[in-house]
Amino acid sequence: MDGLDFAKACRSLRRRDPIMRKAIKRVGSCAIDVDRNGFRMLVRSIVGQQLSTSAAATIWRRLLMLNGGRRVSPRKMLLFSTTQLRGVGLSKAKCRAVLSIARSVVDGEVRLNELQGLSDEEVTAELVKLRGVGPWTAQMYLMFSLGRSDVFPTGDLGIVNAVTALYGFKDRASESEMLEIAKSWRPYRTIASWYLWQALDLFRDGEW
């Protein structure tokens, strides 16, 4: 999010949405961590698919230990066997996905360093060609590797739970309901999403 005025983004969100105003007040300054290593971000997103934050973090730490603390690269990833990757906690499907993505990068089938110049839609179209990459993983890549400021991952369980809880829905918030709420957040839906994740933790801890 090079050049993004976070103070301006937060002022806009506070002004337009009272729930966002409360979330920003409770959470504090926005601290989104962007990882410009596209391959590493893809692998980390694959690791985190359908897992809790804590479980994903544990497996990621084990993978980094397997990698010897060195830079996560596609060529190095291809040196690991499925057995080794399974040993750190990856499912068979995730092992196949990680190794397939590494091969695609090494072979030049996907050029991650060229994605920055594409639109969100074009980036997504390129990424979902890769094994194991769906819309959610592509959105995580847009947010946390390319630093796009207006991404709203409606399929993320944490986001769904946060909107349902914080906005007082009796039943699980639908995608259309979430998109309607998020209209006022444009063009800072990534920032709003980050605050939703943090605020959900506060809600669960009884601090909301």
Closest of 82, 84, 112 to residue 97, by C-alpha: 82
Report the number of distinct structural domains present in the chain: 2
One domain, residues 67 and 162: no
Q: What is the CA radius of gyration of the chain?
A: 18
Token look-up 């594409």 returns 118
Single out the residue in 105, 128, 144 at which a domain terminates.
144
One domain, residues 124 and 183: no
One domain, residues 23 and 42: no
One domain, residues 139 and 184: no
Euclidean distance between CA atoms 102 and 143, whole angstroms: 21
90: domain range? 38-144
Euclidean distance between CA atoms 32 and 14, whole angstroms: 18
Residue 84 lies in a domain: yes
Q: How confident is the model at residue 129 (pLDDT cuts 50, 70, 90)?
A: very high
Single out the residue in 144, 165, 191 at which a domain terminates.
144
One domain, residues 137 and 42: yes
Token look-up 């804590």 returns 54
Closest of 14, 130, 40 to residue 138, by C-alpha: 130
One domain, residues 69 and 166: no
Euclidean distance between CA atoms 105 and 74, whole angstroms: 7
Q: How many CB atoms lie within 10 A of CB 146?
A: 20
In CATH, what number is assigned to the domain containing residue 116? 1.10.340.30
Is the per-residue pLDDT at 1 higher than 80? no
One domain, residues 57 and 129: yes
Cβ proximity of 178 and 19 under 8 Å:
no
Could you write out the DSSP letters of every residue in 10-71? HHHHHHH-HHHHHHHHHH-S--------HHHHHHHHHHHTTS-HHHHHHHHHHHHHHTTTS-
Residue 62 lies in a domain: yes
Summarised one tens digit per residue, pLDDT across range 161-202 is: 999 999 999 999 999 999 999 999 999 999 999 999 999 999
Residue 1 lies in a domain: no
Is the per-residue pLDDT at 13 higher than 80? yes
Summarised one tens digit per residue, pLDDT across range 78-127 is: 999 999 999 999 999 999 999 999 999 999 999 999 999 999 999 999 99
Residue 124 lies in a domain: yes
Residue 156 identity: D
One domain, residues 123 and 55: yes
Burial class (CB in 10 A: 0-12, 13-18, 19+), 138: buried
Residue 27 lies in a domain: yes
One domain, residues 98 and 68: yes
Cβ proximity of 47 and 60 under 8 Å:
yes
Q: How confident is the model at residue 53 (pLDDT cuts 50, 70, 90)?
A: confident
Residue/partner pairs of 91-96 with CB below 8 Å, 24 or more apart: 93/132, 94/46, 94/47, 94/49, 94/132, 96/131, 96/132
Is the per-residue pLDDT at 71 higher than 90? no
One domain, residues 52 and 86: yes
One domain, residues 102 and 71: yes
In CATH, what number is assigned to the domain containing residue 168? 1.10.1670.40
One domain, residues 119 and 52: yes
